[in-house]
Structure 1
């Protein structure tokens, strides 16, 4: 089947050899297409190629796209509600049932393990109204991915995800008018809000025996240069799990809408987190996030600052946050077209 290179999917296979206009051999028959091959085809000015018929991946999983989305939403809602129950129990008793954490989080992790396109998941979760409950779940899920990309074992990834899920549990002890405030906080209110890290440590220690999870609650606002809180720790003093959750938390925080309800583009957020990887947040965790998310943007629909709709076709190695995009009219290399920005990304 003949296919334009912008419509290719990861894993498509060439049905025949590819030659450029000069007759030079570019790619052999049977090649599995990934972002590197798409970039090569673009550089060789090859617009259309023949690929083998696609296998319906939804049939392989026994679940179509709408079925997956339905199951994802169901588990998302259940896990958020579970966190709300944990939060309210900690509010009233100062501790929570550890088994409930496992029972609510585990099914969600099993569902997202089927979905390797993390960008689509982040876009999907970003459509939800933001509150402390789904914020905590998003941090837990993204922490799971970052840990897996860093090579942690399945068991360690589960623990790190659980730590991300519980990182803000201490906010249950912060007055509601402060944690839900829509106006700028006073110095006294900011000081009270910052206590949630120590409150969280105490609540987790009362509820379970896993010290690293408690340390994540305590240290997720610490920064490698000593500018964080509550203790102004430096890189070597911060638990590795807390360094991972800090990156996930920073990313999810930055995706929140501003006071007018406008959300930043995911690529803009990713670039800001990337910049924090130079001395503020853990460099390895930041690199794992950006290195694994950026390829997933290829093929995504975007809205440009001039209101055109376009598709990302290539991640530009000279400026990884300003990719090559294609609109109906033309290709735009955003690394050189500096007057055009990506303002939104769609599934």
Structure 2
């Protein structure tokens, strides 16, 4: 029977190959439709398809593992763990003699690159790999990964993007000079302790510039807490005074820090954190860099569950190119466009 795409249900099966208005093949005959496939039809602006209904009893919820390529996790986990251990070793060396080895940086970070090129569902990647253990080391690995992604999204070459990823990987190496009692303190820092924490930017700059010729890698360590409005540290730089790569690292540094669980902070919802970044983009963060990051992250939420402030739960089936936080949802058999239903707001994303 012919059905409008907004009336499709999970479990319907296509009776014919489906093509868009330009003749491009979209889905094959026999495809079992789930939210991802329905979203694809919507994105290609296909109005009607021929389907047969296939009754599915007790359809299980999508697990997190089902949102990524099942071949992905076993192969990336060892390289992710290796990168964390590699940063741990770099951190220990820098703690002792204020130096790092460029080849050791390469050995720790480079193996991740092939996985980043293959797996584009960054949201699921972060959720799968993120734990509350080894925050300092894991955070550095995440910032390196996200910096690489964001650099490619901004149009940097692959070679430059890899170097920017390394800049992210090393941005907090200066913390190796901070006493552990301050670095891992569970309570609020005193003014003197916070002043010492802020010194990690200059410590990192001094360590990196001894090893890397690309000055922006060292500057990323020095400037990743500078802010567009001049409210950052250590120098209170603003606007064009800040190295562009440092601005890039600032965005992903904040994102990783906010989604991570630490002794003094519970991890926050990834969707919520993107909204917080959006707010910061109008004063503290570079708007173009921040909006590019958000624009490329938002489609990763397609297929994931959205819990609304009304208490309803739906599936994100399509995202909006400019109204980032108002996607198209499927609630039961109904499609709800949050750009139209302005009173509805997403409270949390889960899987």
Normalised by the length of structure 2, the TM-score is 0.80
CA contact (8 A) 2:295 2:324 kept: no
Equivalent positions of 1:178-189 (< 5 A) are 178-189=182-193
- Number of equivalenced pairs: 320
Q: 1:313 and 1:203 mapped to 2: Cα distance?
A: 46
Q: 2:149 and 2:239 mapped to 1: Cα distance?
A: 22
CA gap of 1:129–1:329, structure 2 versus 1, over 3 A, is farther
Deviates more, 1:78-87 or 1:128-137: 128-137
Q: 2:49 and 2:131 mapped to 1: Cα distance?
A: 34
Partner of 1:57: none
Alpha-carbon deviation of 1:291?
Answer: 1.4
SS in 2 for 1:207: coil
Q: 1:172 and 1:306 mapped to 2: Cα distance?
A: 46
Please give the per-residue CA displacement for 1:159-202, whole angstroms capped at 9, x wherever unaligned.
Answer: 10000000000001111111111101111111110000000011
Partner of 1:97: 101
CA contact (8 A) 2:305 2:316 kept: yes
CA contact (8 A) 1:80 1:133 kept: yes
CA contact (8 A) 2:187 2:264 kept: no
Partner of 1:211: 215
Q: 1:271 and 1:148 mapped to 2: Cα distance?
A: 22
Partner of 2:122: 118
Q: 2:99 and 2:288 mapped to 1: Cα distance?
A: 33
Q: 1:239 and 1:306 mapped to 2: Cα distance?
A: 43
CA contact (8 A) 2:227 2:284 kept: yes
Partner of 1:32: 26
Please give the per-residue CA displacement for 1:2-48, whole angstroms capped at 9, x wherever unaligned.
Answer: 9986769xxx9x7146xxxxxxxx84654437967515759x5x587
Please give the per-residue CA displacement for 1:115-161, whole angstroms capped at 9, x wherever unaligned.
Answer: 12222222223356460000001001000011001111111101100
CA gap of 1:262–1:199, structure 2 versus 1, over 3 A, is closer
Q: 2:9 and 2:148 mapped to 1: Cα distance?
A: 31
- Superposed CA RMSD in Å reads 3.2
Q: Aligned match of 1:68 in 72, 77, 84?
A: 72
Partner of 1:341: 346
Q: 1:6 and 1:238 mapped to 2: Cα distance?
A: 50
Alpha-carbon deviation of 1:228?
Answer: 0.7
CA gap of 1:134–1:318, structure 2 versus 1, over 3 A, is closer
Q: Aligned match of 1:15 in 7, 17, 21?
A: 17
2:316 is equivalent to residue 312 of structure 1: yes
Equivalent positions of 1:1-347 (< 5 A) are 15-16=17-18, 27=21, 30-32=24-26, 37-39=41-43, 65-127=69-131, 129=133, 131-257=135-261, 262-305=266-309, 309-316=313-320, 319-328=323-332, 330-335=334-339, 336=341, 338=343, 340-346=345-351
Q: 2:266 and 2:100 mapped to 1: Cα distance?
A: 35
CA contact (8 A) 1:304 1:344 kept: no
Q: 1:69 and 1:210 mapped to 2: Cα distance?
A: 33
Runs of at least 5 residues in structure 2 that lack an aligned partner in the other structure = 28-36, 53-67
Alpha-carbon deviation of 1:219?
Answer: 0.4
CA contact (8 A) 2:247 2:286 kept: yes
Alpha-carbon deviation of 1:261?
Answer: 6.1
SS in 1 for 2:87: helix
CA contact (8 A) 2:259 2:268 kept: yes
Alpha-carbon deviation of 1:94?
Answer: 1.0
Q: 1:254 and 1:160 mapped to 2: Cα distance?
A: 21
CA gap of 1:161–1:48, structure 2 versus 1, over 3 A, is farther
Please give the per-residue CA displacement for 1:260-299, whole angstroms capped at 9, x wherever unaligned.
Answer: 8643221111111122222321122112111111122222
CA contact (8 A) 1:198 1:218 kept: yes
SS in 2 for 1:206: coil
